A and B are shown apart, each in its own frame.
Chain A
């Protein structure tokens, strides 16, 4: 018997700083059809209330490491959307 890949992935999406203010949340649970990428998550967040104010390019990290729009996601991944960094 072969194990079928799950038909969807559920992701924990973290929003920080200005993005958390725009969306009114700092955490979202988003379920997407598999296979899903970081770009799919960003599109989904844009469709949320307040998400249309996100800039055209959004920096992201998956499981604590910087990722690109094409990064593939697995069920349970933590996807963080990072506003322009301002440390130091």
Chain B
């Protein structure tokens, strides 16, 4: 299972990722893609950088996938990209494949929510005005990307 969970420093190939969990008995496949947005808290973002505590992030991703596959009859594959990304690049992809769509949708949603809650990954945004900020999803919206 662990080999279907990866931190990568190259573009995410969603078709290749989906191929890892597609099987003749799995007729419902849901893919979630998280793309780099061009704005955050009202500011224009030009690029960003993801970094991670890699050994813990990989372990936590594997635990999330293990828990999800124990709770729903699904197979899940996940990649999260690190390093410098451009607007529109895929930062994360989650693919959940099940016999039927209901389990695939629920499992896919569960995995991405748990990734946001538990996996030690950080995002540094570069803004059009030349400033840089660490994204803090726990901060109030007007402080989430304070200039530094």
> A residues within 8 Å of B by Cβ?
14, 16-18, 21, 61, 64-66, 80, 82-88
In the assembled complex, B34 has its CB within 8 A of some CB on chain A: yes
The residues of B with any CB-CB pair to A shorter than 8 Å are 34, 50-53, 55-57, 59, 80, 91-92, 112, 115-124, 134-139
Most chain A CB inside 10 Å of its own CB: which residue of B92, B119, B120, B123? B120
Q: Which of B34, B91, B92, B121 contacts A85 (CB 8 A)?
A: B121
* Given A16-B122, A64-B59; A86-B53 close (CB under 8 Å): no
CB < 8 Å A-B pair total: 69
| B116 near A16: Cβ-Cβ < 8 Å | no
Shortest CB distance A38–B (Å): 15
Contact call A16/B120, Cβ cutoff below 8 A: yes
Contact call B137/A84, Cβ cutoff below 8 A: yes
